[in-house]
Structure 1
Amino acid sequence: DDQSLLSFDVEDTGPGITPDGQARLFQPFQQLDDSSTRRFGGTGLGLTIARRIANQMDGDVVVRSTPGLGSVFTFTARVECLPDVEPVMMQDVAAPGAEDALRILVVEDHAVNRMILNAWLTSQGHRTEMAEDGEQGLAAASRQAFDIILMDVNMPVMDGLTATRHLRARPGPNAATPVVILSASARRQDHEVGLAAGADAYLNKPIDFAGLARMLSDLTRPSFTRAEASAAA
């Protein structure tokens, strides 16, 4: 047989999930906590998409969980065994010169997302400062000027839309700094809400870094307008 069934377990020691929560986990647009200040972001589609992909690979995604003891997610997939293949190298986006380096504030509650954004931005020659929620982002924006602010939407303490409204409403070094909203939602109405809050552009997650590079270049052009950003969002 040239096929193998792969099985992966991801185990945590978190709060666990109730039976009712487990029943909703794989339903589209379902969140265990759907408030705008929830600790974890997203639209409630990740596990739904993951299960459908696994099903297409003759596998599945299932969960075992006990409240108070953590959870175990199991992913299976049937794959074809192949001989050694030549690795494919990813094409890098050209890094800017020193004169194009930007000072960028990243407001994002998810530690892994902050790490990825910081790694990519610094690899492109930009300087970054990180904030974990909207309140921290406003504090950072009050201390120094930035060229761009990347703002997540769903964060604890203060969400990104509220933070953007406060940023635009108060005087300070970043009252007019371009703000890019980062969100997993691709719905047009959510884009419009972000722009109405005072953002200049909207970028969907997972982030297309080539698209982000173009957006950073566009937003720092002296001739760039919010009308262009709205049309491109």
Structure 2
Amino acid sequence: MLPSRSDQKENLKTLKTSSNNLLVLINDILDFNKIEAGKLDLDIAPFNLKKLIKDIVTANTNSANERENRMSLILDDRLPDYFEGDSLRIGQVLNNLISNAIKFTYKGFISIRVDLQKLKTDSTVLEIAVHDTGVGIAKENLENIFIPFMQASTSITRQYGGTGLGLAITRRILGLFNTDVLVTSELAKGSRFYFTIELKTVDANRINQLENDITDFNLKNKKILLVEDTLFNVLYVNQLLEGWHANVAVADNGEIAIKMMRQTKYDLVLMDLQMPVMDGFTATEKIREFDMNTPIMALTASATSDVRAKALAAGMQDCIVKPFNPEDLILKFKRHLI
């Protein structure tokens, strides 16, 4: 077998980041509905902000090149490496601002800048700005761009497309972080979108230990019951678990899972919530009638607070939202198995 080239690895990495960002964009309208209903929770966890921004810039490089734009990323040298926050939502905000800058700029320049404004004992105040030399926005239209399904003008919609939700979602997500997105702009000269955000700083030693834990993670001799009816999800999760040396059994629905639980002792159950014959909520309630101890973790496509609350009320110990990163699953396994 020929060895993989470094450029192939870099392309695969870019494809992975791009697919994650595309998934975020597809979910825009769903996220907007969740936010409007007050049902979107932030998932706070340690993350590397520098890596997050670099990955998003890399993922947007091809679209920038297609419009003959140049991009630059300027990171304050004083920035800590790790913060605590919802990296998915912060990434969604950054991706919205950067992709917008690219879309409305042709043969121009896009600058992404992160400045440290204040370093506190256990947190950091940052200013993140995206500046472009694109078409710009008329002063009288600056507030319209944040209204759902509205853009600066009907000609913008015809020429550039889009749902008109990106900036509305951006403003609402930042509202969950107790901040807001601001804009300065001038027609034919470009725009600058920026916001300040305070994030808890995470000790690098803690991250190093976490990364070591992930590298050495092993489920040898652990019996895991996967309750899932979608073939792709079964194949993906099963591959992960077997890669960690777990013994995996699969049930297509909640009714089958109950029968298997009566016959075999498992160390943990991964329970899909929406399935034919019997859903995950009902199955968990019935399992808890004869087994109160086996950890059950919900596999759900929804991050809303009411789904989490319903899962916990049914007797589950935790939730993981699909699609998930393997690292997130490892952390939850460590919480309930070790």
CA distance in 2 between counterparts of 1:158 and 1:97 reads 31
Equivalent in the alignment of 1:161: 281
Percent of aligned positions that are identical: 27
Measured in 1, the distance between the counterparts of 2:218 and 2:336 equals 17
Find the residue that maps to 2:215 and give its secondary structure. coil
Relative to total residues, which structure has the larger helix share, 1 or 2? Answer: 2
Q: Does 1:136 align with 2:256?
A: yes
Q: Which residue of 1 aligns with 2:272?
A: 152
Distance in 1 separating the partners of 2:230 and 2:273:
11
- The residue that corresponds to 2:230 in the other structure is 110
Match of 1:88 in 2: none
Distance 2:324 2:249 in 1: 18
Amino acid at match of 2:320: L
Q: Which amino acid aligns with 2:298?
A: I
Aligned residues: 142
CA distance in 2, matches of 1:155, 1:95: 34
Greater length-normalized contact order (CA 8 Å, ≥ 6 residues apart):
1
TM-score when normalising by structure 1: 0.53
Question: Against the structure 1 CA distance between its residues 139 and 146, is the aligned structure 2 distance closer, same or farther, given a 3 Å change threshold?
Answer: same
Does the 8 Å contact 2:271/2:297 carry over to 1? Answer: yes
Structure 1 runs (4+) deviating above 2 angstroms are 26-30, 55-60, 91-98
Q: What do you get for the CA RMSD once the two structures are aligned?
A: 3.0
Q: Which amino acid counterpart does residue 204 of structure 1 have in structure 2? A: V
What is the TM-score of this pair, normalised by structure 2? 0.37
Q: How far is the alpha carbon of 1:96 from its aligned partner?
A: 3.6
Contact kept, 8 Å, 1:182 with 1:204, in 2: the verdict is yes
Q: Is the 8 A contact 1:94 1:124 kept in 2?
A: no
Q: Is the 8 A contact 2:217 2:330 kept in 1?
A: no
Structure index of larger Rg: 2
Counterpart of 2:241 (choices 96, 121, 140) is 121
Per-residue CA deviation, residues 162-218 of structure 1 (Å, 9 max, x unaligned), is 00000001x2xx441000001011001110110000000011110221011111111
Contact kept? 2:284, 2:314, Cα under 8 Å: yes
Q: Which residue of 2 aligns with 1:220?
A: 337
Q: How far apart are the structure 2 equivalents of 1:137 and 1:117?
A: 17
The verdict on how the C-alpha distance between 1:176 and 1:206 changes in structure 2, with shifts beyond 3 A counting, is: same
Kept in 1: contact 2:268–2:294 (CA 8 A): yes
Is there any run of 5+ residues in structure 2 with no aligned partner, and where?
A: 1-27, 34-95, 104-159, 162-210
1:28 deviates by 4.7
The amino acid across from 1:167 in the alignment is: I
The answer to whether 1:94 aligns with 2:215 is: yes
Cα offsets for 1:32-86 (capped at 9, x unmatched)? xxxxxxxxxxxxxxxxxxxxx9x989899xxxxxxxxxxxxxxxxxxxxxxxxxx
Give the equivalent residue in structure 2 for 1:181. 298
